[in-house]
Amino acid sequence: MKNLIGTFLVITLVFSVLVLPSGKIYAQVNTQNTTTLEMQLNTLQKELIVLLNKKVAILQMEWRIVMEQRLKNLQTQLIGLLEKHVFILRSQLADR
């Protein structure tokens, strides 16, 4: 019986000295890793926002360029139509 109690006390002592503190240390390391991961995540989020803002600026510039080109094309078409109508009107006036 003394051997069982002695063995139990030794196991309890070993458990309390080795296992519990290491669990505490693991929890601290895990917390530090979590903090580091959170900081990295925040940094990545900030970098992503910067990249998205740059992409939006690029898309806005590209959109403006496309719209300016479409406007120029429409102006060219309008000038062509106006010249055509002017020619038709001059032809009609010349016939009278």
Q: How far apart are CA 96 and CA 93, in angstroms?
A: 5
59 φ, ψ to 5°? -65, -40
Per-residue pLDDT, 59? 92
Neighbours of 9 (CB within 10 A): 10
Q: What is the pLDDT of residues 26-71, one digit of tens each?
A: 555 566 777 888 888 889 999 999 999 999 999 999 999 999 999 9
Q: Which residues of 14-52 are buried (b: 16+ CB within 10 A; e: fewer)?
A: eeeeeeeeeeeeeeeeeeeeeeeeeeeeeeeeeeeeeee
Amino acid of residue 54: K
Per-residue pLDDT, 40? 87
Q: What is the pLDDT of residues 70-83, one digit of tens each?
A: 999 999 999 999 99
